Amino acid sequence: MKLSWKVVAFLLFLFHSTNHISLAQQEGNDEADDEAEKQPTIPKGQEHCKGIFIWYNFISRTKEFPRLKNTIAQSWAFKSRVTILNMGTSELQAWKIFIGFQYKEILVSAKGAVLTSGVDFPAPVGNGTYLSGYPQTDLETSIDTANELDKIQVKVELRGTQFGLKPPGNPMPKTIKLANDGYKCPSPTRRKASMYVCCVKDPKFKANKTTKTKFLPRQKGDLLISYDVSQAYKNNYLAQVTIENRHPLGRLDHWNLTWEWMRGEFINSLKGAYVRKVDISGCLNGKVGEYYGDMDFSKVLNCEKKPILFDLPPEKADDAQMGKIPFCCRNGTLLPETMDSTKSKSAFVIEVFKIPPDLNRTTIYPPHKWKIVGDLNPNYRCGAPIRVEPAQSPDPTGVEAVKYAIASWQIVCNISRPTKGNSRCCVTFSAYYNKSAIPCDTCACGCEDTAKCNPNKPAMLLPPEALLVPFENRSVKAKAWAQIQHFKVPKPLPCGDNCGVSINWHVSSDYKQGWAARLTLFNWKSINFENWFTAVQFKKAGSGYERMFSFNATLLKELNNTIFIQGIEGMNYLIGKKNGSDPENDPDVPGKQQSVVTFKKRGKTWPDIAKGDGFPTKVLFNGEECALPSRIPVSTGIRFSVSLSLLFLCKFVSYLLIQRLN
């Protein structure tokens, strides 16, 4: 049977069309599968969350070495994952979460996040920790991105070590929650190996009224660092780093600033500051060396991943190559505004080079893990950089115009109170009504060598003159005083305080209308403290401050009646200790300054000086909170009880004599 050419042509057309339809259907099914894969995976019943969904999943753990029979001491390597998904209608900027770890965890890595505190890995997080996003800091909305999962969701892979819980138990956190302002989180829902929570906007939260911009408003803190990009090119950019002291009692001397480059950047040049190490070894190999193969690295300033920068001395302020930056070159001193507002800011300009894949003038990542320290100053804990509205500055042409930075980030640092044994200054107490002086606590500023002393015994009471000599020369005086006063002598003797600065507060008198004290500063370090200040707070007596004789002092009523004290001109320089010629016969002599302060007794409830109201409850030196002694001088009442007893005895004897004579 022969088919006509028309029939054959029709059959061929039909086959071709059917094949195209099937291919189109297949492609459509493939696209649908791809879209299905892009959908976020969330627990059943949580699809209606209208905020930020956080999901913690415990994945696995394995026993670590050494292998121990003690369950509490055995360590386990664990893996877990945290998913943060924006299911709301508002963009979440600079996301931050809290994970309430509870099994002495040590976090080794967090892919997709950094520790908000800026601490390096491995980090102990057994009491919980905050994580901030990096490199993805913001989570956009599903509406604005057409449900693009990479922009609305982030997954953080956690690896670490935990203790004290053996299988089949799962080492789950106590809680998880969003730490951004303006959100509230209920208690998380718990499963065997997971927990999740939906955090929604708090309708009661009232944000500060600011102009709405694409970025977050600038935050408040004790120390604020701005990272403002002023010029940007394909492979490098210029940024100004500004450090501002905003705490009324905070301070930095000879500051050292460090951070960590996260994407292979390096410092080509600096103005207004310098690096501790001029080191280019990190640029000669690896990706930097490959991309910048023809570059003369001898002119590069620093290629360390964690550079350390410091401020320049004042004589470099007008140097054309190193200075000429406003607020630079102050020798690393940042004073509080309560002391000198013109010296509360520091700044420098940095030229940064980048490497692939960030070769775009708009692709800029600030460094992370910021830390700043001083000689004897508060301990500042710095958070992760937050993208904020661009900084504004006067136009350099001099016309009435404002120039905006290309991009700005802010790092907020806050003062953390020193823990026991980690102070760097301490306080001693003495009083006219007690013969013994109370020294600083044992190991108040830490103890490195305890082989020949006892770090757990309380410090021995001393004769007041013993406070003038180094701790190494006090042992003989302490033992002799203990024998005279019938005190017990511990064996071995207590360790010293090991503090660089000590402050003696001596209550010198107490009378009907007021009372007086003497403040003495001792500098046991070799460095000098220029423009020093100290501050004292009292529970009751502070408001009665009247006068300071040899120092300048101001009563700050808005700061819990804090008395802010600084040296007058010519006495604002606390020199370092002078080395003696013979440690036994001619010991070191500390730098010392002293003044008397008087108080009036005001109000209905007068301070009871004899019961301890005359001693401060908080003392600071150059912003650092000093360790207070764990006891105060006690008034034994001998002045009054003995006098009354003698009076009674005298009268009684007189009465007997009179009776006998009669």
Under the banding of pLDDT at 50, 70 and 90, the label for residue 5 is low
Domain termination residue (choose one: 384, 415, 446): 415
**Structural contact between residues 95 and 155, judged by C-beta atoms closer than 8 angstroms:** no
Question: Is 6 inside any structural domain?
Answer: no
SS3 of 458, please? Answer: coil
Tokens of 370: 């910021």
Tokens of 65: 């070495």
Q: How many CB atoms lie within 10 A of CB 398?
A: 7
Q: Cis link prior to 122 (omega < 30° from 0)?
A: yes
pTM of this structure: 0.84
Q: How many CB atoms lie within 10 A of CB 362?
A: 8
Which of 329-338, 526-535, 577-586 has the weakest average pLDDT?
A: 577-586
Residue 400: per-residue pLDDT: 78
Phi, psi (5° rounding) for residue 514?
-175, -160
| Pair (330, 383) in one structural domain | yes
Residue 24: per-residue pLDDT: 42
| Pair (489, 455) in one structural domain | yes
Tokens of 338: 């309560």
| pLDDT for 92 beyond 90 | yes
What is the distance of C-alpha 186 from the center of its chain?
28
| Pair (269, 411) in one structural domain | yes
Which tens digit of pLDDT belongs to each residue from 597-613?
999 987 777 889 988 99
CA separation for the pair 547, 521 (Å, rounded): 18
Domain termination residue (choose one: 394, 415, 436): 415
| pLDDT for 300 beyond 50 | yes
Under the banding of pLDDT at 50, 70 and 90, the label for residue 164 is confident
**Structural contact between residues 270 and 309, judged by C-beta atoms closer than 8 angstroms:** yes
SS3 of 99, please? Answer: strand
Domain termination residue (choose one: 151, 169, 201): 201
Under the banding of pLDDT at 50, 70 and 90, the label for residue 652 is low
| Pair (430, 554) in one structural domain | yes
Which tens digit of pLDDT belongs to each residue from 351-389?
999 999 999 999 999 999 999 999 889 999 999 999 999
Which of 9-13, 149-153, 394-398 has the weakest average pLDDT?
A: 9-13
Question: Is 540 inside any structural domain?
Answer: yes
**Structural contact between residues 283 and 297, judged by C-beta atoms closer than 8 angstroms:** yes
| Pair (429, 411) in one structural domain | no
Tell me which of 636 and 344 has the higher pLDDT: 344
Write the CATH number for 117. 2.60.40.290
**Structural contact between residues 501 and 376, judged by C-beta atoms closer than 8 angstroms:** yes
- Write down the mean pLDDT value for the chain: 89
Question: Is 40 inside any structural domain?
Answer: no
| Pair (435, 410) in one structural domain | no
Which tens digit of pLDDT belongs to each residue from 314-354?
999 999 999 999 999 999 999 999 999 999 999 999 999 99
| Pair (296, 404) in one structural domain | yes
Which tens digit of pLDDT belongs to each residue from 59-89?
999 999 999 989 889 999 999 999 999 999 9
Mean pLDDT of 518-522: 97
Residue 59: per-residue pLDDT: 96
| Pair (126, 228) in one structural domain | no
Question: Is 28 inside any structural domain?
Answer: no
Q: What are the CA-CA distances from residue 167 to residues 74, 81, 100 (Å)?
A: 12, 19, 20
Which tens digit of pLDDT belongs to each residue from 448-469?
888 899 999 999 999 999 999 9
**Structural contact between residues 260 and 115, judged by C-beta atoms closer than 8 angstroms:** no
CA separation for the pair 247, 337 (Å, rounded): 8
**Structural contact between residues 587 and 469, judged by C-beta atoms closer than 8 angstroms:** yes
CA separation for the pair 418, 620 (Å, rounded): 12
CA separation for the pair 140, 280 (Å, rounded): 39
Q: In this structure, is the dihedral angle defined by the CA atoms of residues 44, 47, 50 and 52, taken in order, positive or negative?
A: positive
Question: Is 658 inside any structural domain?
Answer: no
| Pair (498, 622) in one structural domain | yes
| pLDDT for 193 beyond 50 | yes
| Pair (337, 287) in one structural domain | yes
Under the banding of pLDDT at 50, 70 and 90, the label for residue 522 is very high
| Pair (480, 346) in one structural domain | no
Under the banding of pLDDT at 50, 70 and 90, the label for residue 302 is very high
Tokens of 89: 């209608």
Question: Is 190 inside any structural domain?
Answer: yes
What is the domain count for the chain?
3
Under the banding of pLDDT at 50, 70 and 90, the label for residue 167 is confident
Question: Is 259 inside any structural domain?
Answer: yes
Under the banding of pLDDT at 50, 70 and 90, the label for residue 587 is confident
Its domain, for residue 521, covers 425-626
| Pair (289, 321) in one structural domain | yes
- What share of the chain in percent tops pLDDT 70? 88
Mean pLDDT of 226-237: 97
Question: Is 644 inside any structural domain?
Answer: no
Under the banding of pLDDT at 50, 70 and 90, the label for residue 395 is confident
